[in-house]
Amino acid sequence: AGGGSPQPTATATTSDDGPVSGGVLVQTLPNDPGTLDMAVSTLQVTQTMGSNVFESLFALDKAFQPQPMLVDSVEMSDDRTVYTLGLRGGVTFHDGSELDSGDVAASLERFFTVSPSGAGVAADVVSVEAPDPLTVVITLAQPRHSLLGELAASAALILPEEIATAAGANPLTGAQTIGTGPYQLGQYQTGQSVTLERFDEYSARAEGDWGGQAGMKHAYLDGIEFRFVAEDSTVVNGLTTGQWQMSAPSNDQYSVLQANPNITLTPIAGGVVNTVILNHHPDSAFADVEARRALNLVINKEDMAAVSGTAPDLLTMTGAFQAPENAPLFSEAGTDVYESYDPERAKEQFATAGVDTIRMLVPSNFPQMVAWGNVLQQELTDIGLTVEIESYDLTTVRAKATDEPGSWDLSLTFISGTVVAPPLINWLQQKYIGGYQNDELDELFAEYAAAEDASAAKQVVDRIQQLVWDDIPSIVLYGSKQYVALDKSVKGFDGNFMLALYNTWLDAS
């Protein structure tokens, strides 16, 4: 039987301002990924739910730096190719078994094969060994600057060994959803709701000031219920009438909700990078760099931002491929190109490139993408191009883009502004639907991997960013922050970019 609209009832009896224990928080998610498996499913909704349940060896702190999570100690060999990780003792899985190095090895193995980011790491990994129950040794073929960050990825989640082997490339089922996080899976009612329960044997870290996903986690809530509600207006209506306490409504609702005294709006750390994906297939209009530059010139990024409905305080009008808060990867190189806007010249350049028709694949699930598509269509039509729009749900767009690679010229997306290494930006990968390939970029990636320290790495990042605005593999429209709307009873939520709910509590008053 369904859960109805349980009014959060704080059972604890502590003081007015401090955290209180108890209550069930209801959060809405737009759709059900069918699994909490963050290794297989890269969807945002999967991360939101899974981050309460699973943990990785490392975790990103509020500055997007990797910090140890399940490990206690990290030793790196001088040639930066052998990492010896000492695991934290006394960590138990939700099924009661204790974490050991075998679990880690098996989980990493799975991470390497199933996860997109894992595959990148795997290329450099020679071996993962477990010499004793609390030690894991990772041997690399060459130095890899981003390794710890990559191991901090949610996809590198740690599972019990049997489950990791059994699941393979399959998404984890409900019964296999066994992690080490502060919450464990209660009930998975596919399509309707997922309930998490507090995991009482959770062993928390002591560091309370790391922020982000790292450090101490405390499960104040008795439980969390994720309710799948697709319709934006339903989401807002439910929020205002107290049916649920936490949602991520569309941009347009921001100002409406802001006016509601019962609701707090919290920006999410990090942010997203809104991008026009260009197809580099030979049959595409954008196989020619001239056409790509022309497109950049014709796009009025301000209009794009405006039409998305994003509130001004959530906007960052930069062309960087990562969010400003993700300091290690944020670069302002090439801003002049980003800021240039000249439809007349664009028209000429399109003409020289011999482009007169643009075929757009627009994902219909996201209102802002539909909006960008519409504005883009108008801008292109205004300079005399023919625009053909096809609009499908995201899955279909992906299928079309992959199955008929020459049938489209551009599509739209937004990516996380908080990845840990440039090669993880999907539209820079050759395997991505855009099929972008650039030897210079590959060399830069290699240089990045080999970077000795953060400042060396940052320099490479700047060069990559510059290349991005020179060769334009895709066009960054602008950066923005997402926000969540919280009922005023929700306290302690720090706006972490996974929307993880540990350290959050419900205030009954």
Partner 1 sequence: MLGLILRRLRDLAIVLVLVGTAIFFIVRVIPGDAALAVAGDQATPEQVEAIREAMGLNVPLWQQYVTWFGQLLVGDFGTSTSFHTPVAPIILSHLLPTVTLALAATVLSIAITVPLSIGVALYPRNWLWRTVNRFTAVGIAVPEFWLALLLVTVFAVTFGAVPVSGWVNPFVDPAAGIPHLILPIVVLMVGQISTFALMLRDNLIGEMLQPYLRTARAKGARERRVFYRHALPNALLPAVTVVGNNLGTLLGGIVVLETIFVIPGLGSLLFQAVSTRDYAIIQGATIVIAIIFVVLNFIVDLIYLLLDPRVRVS
Partner 2 sequence: MLAWLRRLWRRDREFVVWLAVLLLLLLVVVIGPSLLPSAYVQSPGERLQGPSGTHLLGTDGYGRDVLARVVEAGRTSLLIALVIAALATVLGSVIGLVSGFYAKSASVLMRAMDALMAFPGIVLSIALVAAIGTGALSEIVALSVVFTPYMARISRSRALHLAGRGYVLAARSAGVSGPRILLTHILPNALPTILVQSLLIFAAALLLDGTLSFLGMGVQPPTPTWGNMIAEARPYLSIAPTFVVAPGLAIVLAVVTLNAISAGLRSIVDPRARALASMFVMRRERRAPRRA
Of 188-207, which residues contact partner 1 (CB under 8 A)? 189-192
Six-digit token string for 423: 């090669």
Q: What distance in Å separates the CA atoms of residue 206 and residue 217, rounded to the nearest whole number?
A: 9
Query: Cβ closer to partner 1: 80 or 398?
Result: 398
Query: Cβ closer to partner 2: 135 or 310?
Result: 310
Say whether residue 250 binds partner 2 (CB under 8 A). Answer: yes
Q: What distance in Å separates the CA atoms of residue 145 and residue 448, rounded to the nearest whole number?
A: 7
Strand ranges, E, within 253-372: 263-267, 272-278, 315-316, 357-363
DSSP 111-137: HHHH-HHHHHHHTTEEEEEEEETTEEE
Say whether residue 228 binds partner 1 (CB under 8 A). Answer: yes
Percentages helix, strand, coil for the chain, rounded to the nearest 5? 30, 20, 45
Q: What distance in Å separates the CA atoms of residue 57 and residue 107, rounded to the nearest whole number?
A: 10
Min separation Cβ 239 and partner 2, Å: 12
Per partner kind, with CB cut-offs from 5 to 8 A, the member of partner 1, partner 2, none near residue 303 is: partner 2
Single residue of 170, 255, 357, 381 touching partner 1 by CB under 8 A: 170
Start-end of H helices in 269-334: 289-298, 301-307
Per partner kind, with CB cut-offs from 5 to 8 A, the member of partner 2, partner 1, none near residue 422 is: none
Question: Which region, judged by CB under 8 A, interacts with partner 1, from 10-18, 187-195, 295-303, 440-448?
Answer: 187-195
Per partner kind, with CB cut-offs from 5 to 8 A, the member of partner 2, partner 1, none near residue 41 is: partner 1
The one-letter code for the residue type at 295 is L
Question: Which region, judged by CB under 8 A, interacts with partner 2, from 121-129, 299-307, 453-461, 471-479?
Answer: 299-307
Per partner kind, with CB cut-offs from 5 to 8 A, the member of partner 2, partner 1, none near residue 102 is: none
Per partner kind, with CB cut-offs from 5 to 8 A, the member of partner 1, partner 2, none near residue 309 is: partner 2
Q: What distance in Å separates the CA atoms of residue 424 and residue 455, rounded to the nearest whole number?
A: 19
Helices and strands per DSSP (H, E), number in the chain: 15, 21
- Relative to beta strand 193-198, strand 135-140 is unpaired
Q: Which of 122, 127, 156 is nearest to 139 (CA)?
A: 127
Say whether residue 378 binds partner 2 (CB under 8 A). Answer: yes
Say whether residue 386 binds partner 1 (CB under 8 A). Answer: no
Answer yes or no: are the C-beta atoms of 448 and 460 closer than 8 Å. yes
Single residue of 356, 393, 470, 494 touching partner 1 by CB under 8 A: 393
Torsion angle (degrees, nearest 10) of CA 372, 378, 383, 389: 80
Say whether residue 259 binds partner 1 (CB under 8 A). Answer: no
Per partner kind, with CB cut-offs from 5 to 8 A, the member of partner 1, partner 2, none near residue 364 is: partner 2
Single residue of 227, 292, 293, 481 touching partner 1 by CB under 8 A: 227
Q: Which of 443, 439, 474 is nearest to 460 (CA)?
A: 443
Question: Which region, judged by CB under 8 A, interacts with partner 2, from 250-258, 263-271, 329-337, 436-444?
Answer: 250-258
Single residue of 67, 101, 115, 135 touching partner 1 by CB under 8 A: 115
Which residues contact residue 447 at a Cβ distance below 8 angstroms, ignoring those fewer than 6 apart?
460
Say whether residue 116 binds partner 1 (CB under 8 A). Answer: yes
Which residues contact residue 431 at a Cβ distance below 8 angstroms, ignoring those fewer than 6 apart?
none
Per partner kind, with CB cut-offs from 5 to 8 A, the member of partner 2, partner 1, none near residue 256 is: partner 2
Query: Cβ closer to partner 1: 431 or 488?
Result: 431
Say whether residue 407 binds partner 2 (CB under 8 A). Answer: no
Terminal CA-to-CA distance of the chain, rounded, Å? Answer: 29
Single residue of 71, 134, 236, 485 touching partner 2 by CB under 8 A: 236
Which residues contact residue 197 at a Cβ distance below 8 angstroms, ignoring those fewer than 6 apart?
183, 184, 185, 186, 222, 223
Single residue of 7, 73, 170, 233 touching partner 2 by CB under 8 A: 233
Site string for partner 1, 45-84 (x = CB under 8 A): -x--------------------------------------
Start-end of H helices in 64-214: 101-114, 116-122, 147-151, 161-167
Give the binding site for partner 1 (CB under 8 A). 1-5, 31-35, 40-43, 46, 113-117, 119, 168-171, 173-174, 189-192, 227-231, 233-234, 237-238, 240-241, 243, 392-396, 398-400, 402-403, 413, 415, 426, 429, 431-432
Give the binding site for partner 2 (CB under 8 A). 231-233, 236, 250, 252-253, 256, 303, 306-307, 309, 362, 364, 367, 370-371, 374-375, 377-378, 389-393, 396
